[in-house]
Amino acid sequence: MNQTNDNSMPQRKIISNGVSPVVTRFAPSPTGYLHAGNYRTAVFAYLFAKHSGGKFIVRIEDTDAARSKREYEENIFDALAWLNLPADATYRQSEHRSRHRELLEKLIAADTAYVSKETPQKPGDREEVIRFRNPGGSLTFSDVIHGDITTDVTDLGDFIIARSLDEPVFHFAVVVDDADEGVTHVIRGGDHISNTARQLLISRALGFATPTYAHLPLIMDSQHKKLGKRTGAKALTDYRLLGILPEALLNYLAFLGWNPGDTREYMSRDELVEAFDLTRVQKGSAVFDEVKLFSVNQHWMRKLSTDDFLTRGNLSSDSPEKLRKAVPLLQERARTYGEVQEMLDGELSCLFSAPEPARDQLLAKELPGRQAVAKSALEGLLEAIKALPGEVSAEEVKGVIMPLADEEEARGKGGRGAVLWPLRYALSGQERSPDPFTLISILGPEESLARIQKAIAILEG
């Protein structure tokens, strides 16, 4: 294929609220769980249709009866509903068999197609198929993203369009269905460019109008290989299980090969619909980067109110007030709800159950007389913590405790760590936890004092 300025076949322009309403489609095959690269096509088709005031349809291409499964079809609709990409109409390709047969018979009657006797090359091969009578020559179509593309169709020969009258192949069925469903814009992956010439020949033979084509850049994985199951691509709904928000994934997918022409990185569904323009889709491949996806998700998690954050993550606790107080910390550090749960089960578990601190861990390390230093440091904090109000911020706690730690450093008895380490460990019972100021602000002075006094008793024993 090469690009030329020849435009021998009439083309539609990109229509926005023009005479012909825009109709786009997402046409997945239910032969496996679809990954983010597949759904990026649905995102672009939906955004363009809604930006143009048109219709977005979903067609399940289930004519491969041996591999198509209802569970995959259900997963497709589940994922689209989760992303909030509702279809204006839905179709199932297998329900169109009578229409496909009617038009195959029409082409055969017009001698545009014929039943071809075949010599089977291996067991299971057909002895008869239906081939399209290729007129030869060159064919040009205009792609919104790639410009004019010309193919010498002579090289395609008389290609197969059906295995029998009741078994059309992809090239034939998709042309008939797009025409019957009024599809004006075929938005699909760039790997379909090579299919377009065959489909245009069939479309022209059937007297159908030519849709506008937009072939999207391929999505690559982190190794710059085509994203796919064989290279570790996840089913889209797996990201829901990881704790990704649908608005974050929609935002991320929309930016794979497209940008709004300004500096915005984070856009809501309505903002994407308003801004989407097919002419801003890039030609080059886009890279699916989970680290970037998690960063986008963190942005949307941080925008949630405390109540929404807890609800969206289905988070609950026997100590709901402590959980609410922990939300800012979770929003600061967690990128997904999966990481939120890991934090609650790990370093933040100390917020919800009193620790059993080990004596050796309480001692300020590498200091002479460590037991006395740690015990004295904790005892010196008691009065300051007692004086704190019941509702106190981490900054307020820090303002009270740090001067005491600074005094310890000035005395040359081990520095601030001689105070801060035993305090943090007394509160958490863990080597890894939030700083003691944050812990006290969430636990409250009363519970913090009880934990500190327990630690002092351990050191006295």
Quote the percentage of the chain above a pLDDT of 70.
93
Kindly tell me if the per-residue pLDDT of 5 is higher than 80: no
Q: Output the pLDDT for position 414.
A: 62
- What does the mean pLDDT of the chain come to? 90
User: What pLDDT digit, counting tens, does each position of 41-73 carry?
Assistant: 999 999 999 999 999 999 999 988 888 999 999
Q: What are phi and psi of 212, to 5 degrees?
A: -85, 135
* Residue 359: count of CB within 10 angstroms of its CB: 12
Q: What is the pLDDT of residues 422-458, one digit of tens each?
A: 999 999 999 889 999 999 999 999 999 999 999 999 9
184-234: per-residue pLDDT in tens?
Answer: 999 999 999 999 999 999 999 999 999 999 999 999 988 888 887 666 688
Structure tokens at 309: 């954050």
Q: Phi first, then psi: what are they for 234, rounded to 5°?
A: -85, 155
pLDDT score at 10: 30
pLDDT in tens, 79-90: 999 999 999 999
CATH number for domain 23-220, candidates 3.40.50.620, 3.30.565.10, 3.70.10.10, 3.40.50.980: 3.40.50.620
The predicted structure's pLDDT at residue 418: 83
Q: Which of 60, 51, 7, 48 is CA-nearest to residue 24?
A: 48
Supply the pTM of this predicted model: 0.89
> Average of pLDDT values for 409-419?
74
Domain regions of the chain by residue span: 23-220, 306-351, 359-460
Burial class (CB in 10 A: 0-12, 13-18, 19+), 270: exposed
Q: SS3 of 132, please? A: strand
Give the angle subtended at the CA of 229 by the CAs of 225 and 234, to the nearest 5°. Answer: 105
Task: Determine whether domain 359-460 maps to CATH 1.10.10.350.
Answer: yes
Tell me which DSSP letter residue 1 carries: -
Residue of 95, 94, 76, 97 whose CA lies nearest to 85: 76
Structure tokens at 257: 């090969």
Same-fold call for 23-220 versus 359-460: no
